Structure 1
């Protein structure tokens, strides 16, 4: 039977398949930046290629096994002609077309090789089952997903820190060659089987009654689509509020894959435990994640990740329990792949266009409530009520009580504050009471909806109705008014800017006050200086512009510029009317400009709480320096909660022979600044870089500038960058 050979081949296939996903996404960072939807777009391409691979495996299943093998070996060899992988050369996208251009880029880069490998999970299971004593082939799918999980972990923990992108690509190509040998060996192990591995499910001679009916097929589809969508919506939350790097990308996808390993295992005890726990986890973590949405803390992140994992295991366990006879194996996996693509399409393409917030996440939680197995809870609770009418009355009463108490204890808008002890106790009692609702499907789904509405849904609906929130490919922005009447722009959980709308409307605030590093640098700029600013925000820096200075702003997201164009923020109109705003990736736009275009260049490009990695590489530094005059000044904003960026910049400066210094401004806590309301100046860290120390001399006397931290590690390049050594782990807690 050679079971071990098939297990090793399936594991190797999936390991390579999911090792390449973050690798190609990492290749694309210099072009695409760190927008969370970049990873979702990549995942959509991978799911579509997986669907194509499963359809191909289903199609060739009608041939004798030796023909299947010959066809597949040929497909693998053709895919190998595209190796080693390198990012496809395509023109940059027009603004607003990123959602289509990014998938196209990934498809051109990795499509042939990924397609060839993606067919192997169902195909090898089919070949395995060709032996009359092979037994149940479905547990091989658990092994497949274990290999996928290992591949995902291997990238951020081993491949990215140890190998440059070029080396990663060559190592992957070597693994691909080894895989071809393993597939050929598995085929040789079934050389005596001349018939098709299994009678195809769509064989006209097969009895129609043996095929799964359309209701079962729709159930397979739904049970595949909802976990896939939840995986991507959880990814959107994590990468928006923490950082768009492979280390974070792989967490939801890794747990999603691991859920298949548990759900499809031959021993069912662990899967059964997850099925029992899932309704409880959905109620508790769904409520907590909704309540904590918009706050980048351990509570919100942990709740979302646990919810994804437990619910995915439960739904996939139900999928396994409804699996067909092995004669429909490839059809079953084909429908699963269609469901995965459907979930990806909804989350990655439809939701960002239709919704102004991540409404897809609570909607997918509700969909999970519709599908979760509830039999254990139904037996335990409903069995205690002899009269069904009494049960319905009790469940309706619990729903009313839950909604009333949730609104009283957790009013809309409370999500920005910390919970008191009595509120945690109230939350525990409410969620314990809500478990009774699992006695019936209708009450459980309604109860989940009630809790999601009460714990943040109503507040977010109000914001959507008011029209003060926008969503684009690059993030979610919300305009808020403070009790003092000031106007805030939020990007994820990061304040993107603040403006006094009545008093001192042109006074710089937040990270850009007059005591900040950039404030001091721009105040000392020459009266006729040429100033470039990467990252428009609300346009705060525009009010440092002097009459004869020429300013140019670079902004990747047209939605951000629209806030200024609509007059919600007036810094740009008041202080720099007519200043050009270049829409597109700043690194590409600056590289296309004439050399020495600026005397001062400010790099302030946030993606929530993170500066995209492609703006902190040696190649990027070369572009900045070429764009500044010989005695020009480069100012970089590196305020960050999660990564120590000073040693990274210090290494870049050392590589380029630059003089550096840093100003860490404590904002209002140090009593700095005048003409601002208390709390309007935020702590900030700005680094000044110049070709020689003389250029920094005048600026050094303007405040408490300090030497930059000593350099650490190798220089970051487009080919190599690892954030692991620089993570501030305590800030994740």
Structure 2
């Protein structure tokens, strides 16, 4: 019977491609309906992990049957799941008394649960069916094909599917892919119609590795499988957090670590072991060199820092997955092996995405996982003098102690040179010496990890630890906030990773001055100053995005203000008087916690005369707040003569064409104000867009300050953003990503 390897490779590729395509697609569908609150997406992640584990458990359970029955059952389930297509959120009304944490999983599970469940079983199941044919060969390389398909799906969504297709057509195209998958599975099953009828899989392909004999795997080995799967999974997520928080916040950056993680499986599970072996041997050196920066939190990032961090993830994930491959069991335990791997990946994800934000004030999970990798990865000592017959064990321990002491001294010197930027060459020399010591002590795994820890502290980790000890940081599911007073004691700033969220003067005489993006020449300052003349003295003002509360001190007597803020932690900065704008200037303001679009949809029509949308900065673009449907929500909340003000300052994405196209589609007039303040210490360049359905409102705004002119918004995207079709890709400022102006 022919092995038909190509057929099984194609089936696995298609299944994995569809699996990684459906997750961002459903997230895109759900965003306007569910909003961006973290409990929603934490629930979504748990649904995906639970369905993936259930799919792997199902594949493991199915192995108890004869192969022909497996084919009948699985094809039957695929056809049943096809009844739920095309993919989309079902019209499930909220159930009274059911908390959102339970309703969201119920909605997502009922919407995509059947197809996600059966497709997630593809990788282990197809490998088992492939191995059932005599002479087919080992199936493990098919897992590499599975991750290659996952990687392709991951890249295809932001680069192709989202920019080119509406959500509706994405769903229809996915349904077509699912139909192709059903056909491929049926053909794969048909190709095994003459396979042995026993329920166990043959093991003759592994006769050259007698250690992998059928039988119960020891619990210690299973625990090691779990750890080797959990650490790379958690490290992939922590690398994303570390990059976007402390190094280089840029759009679509999350794709890179996830792609590297998937490619590590492709390398580690390949039949050709040369690449995996070379990366595994190099991994300890890369870990010492780049892992030393895992505790860095100064926000001084570059593309080189991104490249080094990604190289670290590639080497660590490949080395750990290669060790996992070396510990693979006999093929009769194939589905059990993948089930444990899936559970390990889920544990890593739960620790990093759910537990760490509650336990840590910074991305401490990242250095912890890097250290865990040092304790798990294969080490091949280049200088194995520990077991040298010419050196007594006592002398070896003394030498080890001397080397560790010297490493500590080098770490201290490295920390001192970080305060002197001109000492770059000396810093590099100290780093090289530390790496050399790590190589010399590689025969002692604990000592190797100790040198790595010393390098972390010396490369800036000391300041990260001190910031934690001084309580400068606060963390929520939305990110890591750093509250810091400058060295001169003049200003207090709030930063979200590398993004400045606001600043307040510590001088009581200037404490109410709106700084950064909200200076006197900013579009929002000019607009709010003109509101009494345009909308009357008792205007109702809504602000989406609280931040430090800077805009509160732009309020005027008689006005009623309402703030919409998605993160309760941001509100606490004001209620605990870390920043006093809100309590001093608008003490009676109403603050609504939740996704602004969903909350504004619930307010009575014409509730506001002015609405300020200040929710876009750095790499974070909540697209559901910028679609034509969102604009309709804002217009409903505004009076017919209402004024809408959008803050679109962004380092990497040009949002002006999107706003221009949406304004034209919605019948709105638009003016733009670009502010380039001379005082760069107190104020930040900003761009604001003013929109109104009444041309007279904008004319009145433009007349208020002839010395600070507004310009007609001329930029236009080819098509407006809608809930059905939107992509940031065409509007990325690629030159900014490479450091060019």
Same fold (TM over 0.5): yes
Map 1:150-169 to 2 at 5 A.
Answer: 150-169=152-171
Map 1:174-573 to 2 at 5 A.
Answer: 174-199=176-201, 210-238=215-243, 247-291=252-296, 294-295=299-300, 297-377=302-382, 379=384, 386-411=391-416, 420-485=424-489, 486-503=491-508, 504-526=510-532, 527-573=537-583
CA distances 1:372-398 after superposition (whole Å, capped 9, x unpaired): 110254659976984444443344333
DSSP-derived class of the 1:439 partner: coil
What is the distance in 1 between the residues matched to 2:90 and 2:289? 45
| Cα displacement (A) at 1:243 | 6.4
DSSP-derived class of the 1:688 partner: strand
| Cα displacement (A) at 1:477 | 1.4
What is the distance in 2 between the residues matched to 1:604 and 1:483? 29
Specify every segment of 5 or more residues in structure 1 that has no aligned partner in the other structure, as ranges: 202-206, 672-677
Q: 1:46 to 1:381 in 2, by over 3 A?
A: farther
What is the distance in 1 between the residues matched to 2:737 and 2:496? 19
**1:130 maps to what in 2?**
132
What is the distance in 1 between the residues matched to 2:130 and 2:723? 43
What is the distance in 2 between the residues matched to 1:385 and 1:476? 53
Q: 1:363 to 1:248 in 2, by over 3 A?
A: same
For the Cα contact (< 8 Å) 2:518–2:524, is it kept in 1?
yes
What is the distance in 2 between the residues matched to 1:630 and 1:272? 68
What is the distance in 1 between the residues matched to 2:261 and 2:49? 13
**2:605 maps to what in 1?**
595
CA distances 1:382-415 after superposition (whole Å, capped 9, x unpaired): 7698444444334433333333333333359969
Specify every segment of 5 or more residues in structure 2 that has no aligned partner in the other structure, as ranges: 204-211
DSSP-derived class of the 2:712 partner: coil
DSSP-derived class of the 2:296 partner: helix
Map 1:83-162 to 2 at 5 A.
Answer: 83-89=85-91, 105-162=107-164
Q: 1:497 to 1:178 in 2, by over 3 A?
A: same
| Cα displacement (A) at 1:508 | 0.7
What is the distance in 2 between the residues matched to 1:479 and 1:686? 26
**2:585 maps to what in 1?**
575
What is the distance in 1 between the residues matched to 2:354 and 2:102? 9
| Cα displacement (A) at 1:44 | 4.4
**1:649 maps to what in 2?**
659
More off after superposition, 406-415 vs 80-89 = 406-415
For the Cα contact (< 8 Å) 2:519–2:525, is it kept in 1?
yes
Q: 1:561 to 1:177 in 2, by over 3 A?
A: same
| Cα displacement (A) at 1:418 | 9.3
For the Cα contact (< 8 Å) 1:399–1:450, is it kept in 2?
no
For the Cα contact (< 8 Å) 1:37–1:236, is it kept in 2?
no
| Cα displacement (A) at 1:289 | 4.1
TM-score (norm 2): 0.91
What is the distance in 1 between the residues matched to 2:91 and 2:368? 38
CA distances 1:292-342 after superposition (whole Å, capped 9, x unpaired): 564454244323322212211111001111111111111111111111111
- How large is the Cα RMSD of the aligned pairs? 2.8
Q: 1:36 to 1:607 in 2, by over 3 A?
A: farther
More off after superposition, 366-375 vs 432-441 = 432-441
DSSP-derived class of the 1:438 partner: coil
| Cα displacement (A) at 1:566 | 0.8
Q: 1:295 to 1:27 in 2, by over 3 A?
A: farther
DSSP-derived class of the 1:281 partner: helix
| Cα displacement (A) at 1:681 | 0.9
DSSP-derived class of the 1:489 partner: strand
Q: 1:688 to 1:209 in 2, by over 3 A?
A: closer
What is the distance in 1 between the residues matched to 2:223 and 2:175? 38
More off after superposition, 506-515 vs 190-199 = 190-199
What is the distance in 2 between the residues matched to 1:424 and 1:101? 54
For the Cα contact (< 8 Å) 1:288–1:303, is it kept in 2?
no
CA distances 1:63-90 after superposition (whole Å, capped 9, x unpaired): 1111111111122122222211113556
For the Cα contact (< 8 Å) 1:10–1:124, is it kept in 2?
yes
What is the distance in 1 between the residues matched to 2:76 and 2:598? 40
For the Cα contact (< 8 Å) 1:221–1:335, is it kept in 2?
yes
Q: 1:477 to 1:331 in 2, by over 3 A?
A: same
**1:29 maps to what in 2?**
31
CA distances 1:473-523 after superposition (whole Å, capped 9, x unpaired): 212112111123222111121121111123311111111111111111111
User: Which of the numbers 679, 682, 707 marks the counterpart of 1:680?
Assistant: 682
CA distances 1:672-707 after superposition (whole Å, capped 9, x unpaired): xxxxxx602111111111114321123224213223
CA distances 1:73-122 after superposition (whole Å, capped 9, x unpaired): 1221222222111135567899xx88777655543432221110111111
User: Which of the numbers 622, 625, 628 marks the counterpart of 2:635?
Assistant: 625
For the Cα contact (< 8 Å) 2:214–2:332, is it kept in 1?
no
**2:206 maps to what in 1?**
none
DSSP-derived class of the 2:531 partner: coil
Map 1:1-80 to 2 at 5 A.
Answer: 1-31=3-33, 42-80=44-82
Q: 1:420 to 1:256 in 2, by over 3 A?
A: same
What is the distance in 1 between the residues matched to 2:423 and 2:84? 55
Q: 1:408 to 1:36 in 2, by over 3 A?
A: farther
Q: 1:628 to 1:127 in 2, by over 3 A?
A: same
| Cα displacement (A) at 1:466 | 2.8
What is the distance in 2 between the residues matched to 1:142 and 1:249? 21
What is the distance in 1 between the residues matched to 2:459 and 2:35? 33
Q: 1:295 to 1:555 in 2, by over 3 A?
A: farther
What is the distance in 2 between the residues matched to 1:561 and 1:711? 36
| Cα displacement (A) at 1:231 | 1.3
DSSP-derived class of the 1:192 partner: coil
